[in-house]
Chains A and B, each alone.
Chain A
């Protein structure tokens, strides 16, 4: 077991039942897909690196902390992680796993090549599982956080297809400029995952929709 594995999940706070309140059950299909993907990643891996967008590129330590959202709940010990990494930490805390874990933030504007190199370095460690906490465009419909942009759907369709195909090349070809304009924060983290794979992955996508105007993807990648 030395090839890397990957799981892609959304960075949406509403995945957390304590934040979703009474509507938690309404997104059961999404949450189930996420749980399955994370469980599978943990099964396949010897250590987990959580990767998501952050204010700076580099390693982070800390824990999840929802107090910023108005719910006084936090993980055990440590500073508040950026949202994407906190979601990853929280997802891992829901599982009975003792796997070593680390957190790696990547700036939204890192170039595709920089992301690829970061991923390549992370993937060097045998048995690494990359938990990619990342979203598609936040401009998928008129009620979306960034309102509707007609380019959002084709952009996300390309992301979904690239994930489904297990193609690092297609992920690395996503436009930095388009992703920025379409508020697709996942671009850089996906490209980090792509960098960890030196060829096509055995891949599946179990969720690909934008129920609240933000593109959510759940996908599993295994080195072939």
Chain B
């Protein structure tokens, strides 16, 4: 990892209006309208749900439930992030394409995201009705951005620590992790736009735990405002990750509170999309933060006013 030049708002602020609307599928999300992205895994082996929604019907039930709980985006994945059994592109497509089609039929308005690093799979899910490609491995296949451009869908540009897909960080070091994150994701975002991806459909994600030790992820969280200042909408994927676990020495089942604390900090610093397992809890947290900030009004205003 080289030491990138620190990035300032002035350098990148001109790319798009700071805090403009995010347009994905049929939805437009305003700058002060935080969005919960619900994790829907069609995997037998993901770290937290461990196959609970691997079956098609179980995945569809999960989608119905998270839409009901207020998720604006569902993020469908067919390959676990961590190392494990090899999943071919054909097998990945088998897992996700039909699910995308079925979700599209049942929920015309929900934004469908697919978590994939493969352009081949991206192409198939876009034909099936996906609205967003969540390139969580940071542009490993550069053609994925071209697929997004061709289909007019959105793209998540992630900092995965320059690692190949499904690898773990080992003794990774950064001179300045935030500077590396920003130069990487802004580079990916600008490249995507130059290829024809709509600027109002591009998100940047610091990639917590991806190519990072826990201190790196905590620093990225603490300094998230610097990412927000680039003007690109920031997505954070914090849910039950190791940086929360190591802050507390707790296993995945006991990381909800820590996840929500990091969620609240990120929301306060300006993150706009929150990828989460626990949709309702996440929605309540970001709503409360919005109310504290004054960007959302009370849902009920009666105390002391009768």
Contact = CB atoms under 8 A, between A and B. Distances in A.
A69 B302 CA distance: 11
B225 to A, nearest CB: 25
A14 interface: yes
A78 interface: no
B306 A21 contact: no
Contacts of B306: 12, 14, 138, 144-145, 212-214
Interface in B280-306: 297-302, 304-306
Contacts of A213: 306
B305 A14 contact: yes
A144 B306 CA distance: 9
Interface string A56-84: 00000000000001000000000000000
A19 B299 contact: no
A224 interface: no
Interface in A95-113: none
A135 B298 CA distance: 25
Contacts of B304: 145
A19 B300 contact: no
The listed residue with most B CB atoms (<10 A of its CB), out of A12, A13, A21, A23, is A21
Nearest to A69: B305
Contacts of B298: 20-23
Contacts of B300: 20-23, 26
Interface string A129-151: 00000000010000011000000
Chain A binding surface, main DSSP class: helix
A23 B299 CA distance: 6
Interface string B33-76: 00000000000000000000000000000000000000000000
Contacts, number: 40
A26 B306 CA distance: 13
B302 A23 contact: yes
Interface in A1-32: 12-14, 19-24, 26
A213 B306 CA distance: 8
Contact of B301 (A20, A138, A214): A20
A23 B306 CA distance: 12
A24 B301 CA distance: 8
Contacts of A22: 297-301
Contacts of B297: 21-22
A213 B297 CA distance: 24
A20 B299 contact: no
B293 to A, nearest CB: 14
B302 A14 contact: yes
Contacts of A214: 306
B302 A212 contact: yes
B299 A13 contact: no
A22 B299 CA distance: 4
B167 to A, nearest CB: 46
Nearest to A22: B299
Interface in B122-172: none
A18 to B, nearest CB: 8
B118 to A, nearest CB: 43
Interface of A: 12-14, 19-24, 26, 69, 138, 144-145, 212-214
22 contacts: A13-B305, A14-B302, A14-B305, A14-B306, A19-B301, A20-B298, A20-B301, A20-B305, A21-B297, A21-B298, A21-B299, A21-B301, A22-B301, A23-B299, A23-B302, A69-B305, A138-B306, A144-B306, A145-B304, A212-B302, A212-B306, A213-B306
Given A22-B297, A23-B302, 8 more contacts: A12-B305, A20-B301, A20-B302, A138-B306, A144-B306, A145-B304, A145-B306, A212-B306
9 residue pairs, one from A and one from B, having the closest CB atoms: A21-B298, A212-B306, A21-B301, A22-B299, A23-B300, A13-B305, A14-B305, A21-B297, A20-B301
